[in-house]
Amino acid sequence: MNNSLQLKNTLQKPNKTNMKAALLILLTIGLGFGLTAQDKKELKELEDKYGYYSNGKLFEKNDDVAILGANVRFIVAKRKTETTSWKSESTVKFGAYAVLEGVSDEVFQEIADEYLEMLKMRFADLNMNVLPREELVNSKNYEKLKEKGLNETENVKKAWGVAKTYSGGNGDYITWNNAAPFGPHTKVPAELKAVLFNSTVTLNFAFIGIQIDQETSRWANSKTVYTKGEASVVPAVHVVGHTYNDKAVALIEDNTYNFAVDPKAKQNNIKLDLNISDIVSEINYAESTESCEGCEPQFAKSFMKIMEAGIGTIVVQADPVKFKEASLDALSKYLDEVFTLYKVERGI
């Protein structure tokens, strides 16, 4: 079998980025003047994209909000596999890995801190008051809420890779699923008389692709099938949706989502269900993209790769300043979309 590795450093820009940004601006401006049929269609597309659910217009009826979490999950190592078509004469599975290098914990934390500030500014644009964190932490049911939802800040999944979560303001990383809120999830906002808001956004650092080609050589009564796999990597910070556990079950708590509940236990939930979304930063942060022999990520070394041909590990060396810019750019684009929905509910 012939395996080769092809690296691509050119960032491919999404075709609809400028059009999409203009649409969001028009939607926001149009809220005060009534929505056209086209506006409503585009809003419906946003609602579908995020599985938008609201059962009480809590952003319209409440003026105070407590931010429970501004969490950013960074995928720092990624596994990609591809298998030849079932129509192929020979079935082969290829696997490749990409690893992010050059970004420190301090930079990741700075990004999460700025995401928290971005959220505060967005709520200010909604004419909503963000309560000081001390009021939230000192509420009598906060510790119970933390006990029920405190989560690990590092996920190592053999099936897909490694992710690290950082919370803005060095807050607690608290999660809850999108089931009906209960217990402290409702008691905290009732005590504070404010919306309890929690956000987690997952950022990936690159797109990985695997191209498989097969050629068949025949001689006399024998036949030989040559299969070649090529891996390509495009460094680009982008927002992703759900990840999976080792049983390939989608993990809600690992999703990109915003959950909110008000003092009357009314909910407003969004969750991005796409593995790869169209929210991509065009800022090229990579200093280099190189294959690396013998540097397979640790999580992959114990992975049983039965009938899987490895075609290399690709190390993306980042400029930390540019990576931070790209991450904040992607987060801003994400908030452009979700706060368009909130503005409609708020009536702004």
> What total of structural domains would you count in the chain?
1
Q: Is residue 237 a part of any domain in this protein?
A: yes
Q: Is residue 122 a part of any domain in this protein?
A: yes
End-to-end CA distance of the chain: 61
Q: Is residue 137 a part of any domain in this protein?
A: yes
Q: Is residue 8 a part of any domain in this protein?
A: no
- pLDDT tens string 236-295: 999 988 655 555 555 555 678 899 999 999 999 888 866 556 899 999 999 998 887 666
Residue-level pLDDT at 89: 53
Beta strands in the chain (DSSP E): 53-54, 64-83, 93-101, 129-130, 154-157, 161-167, 195-219, 222-240, 243-244, 250-251, 256-261, 267-272, 286-292, 308-318
CB 11 within 8 A of CB 282: yes
Q: Is residue 163 a part of any domain in this protein?
A: yes
Residue 163 identity: A
Q: Is residue 212 a part of any domain in this protein?
A: yes
Collapsing DSSP to helix, strand or coil, 123 comes out as helix
Comparing CA positions, the residue from 320, 72, 82 lying closest to residue 209 is 82
- pLDDT tens string 160-185: 778 899 999 999 998 765 555 567 78
Q: Is residue 106 a part of any domain in this protein?
A: yes
pLDDT tens for the chain, 348 residues: list them.
333 444 333 334 444 455 555 555 445 544 544 667 777 888 888 888 888 889 888 999 999 999 999 999 999 988 766 555 544 555 555 567 888 999 999 999 999 999 999 999 999 999 999 999 999 999 999 998 888 777 788 877 766 778 899 999 999 998 765 555 567 789 999 999 999 999 999 999 998 865 545 455 555 565 544 444 455 688 999 998 865 555 555 555 567 889 999 999 999 988 886 655 689 999 999 999 888 766 666 655 555 454 444 556 888 999 999 999 999 999 999 999 999 999 999 988
From its phi and psi, is residue 193 left (phi > 0), alpha (psi between -120 and 50) or beta? left
| Summary mean pLDDT of the chain | 78
Q: Is residue 7 a part of any domain in this protein?
A: no
Please tell me the pTM assigned to this model: 0.80
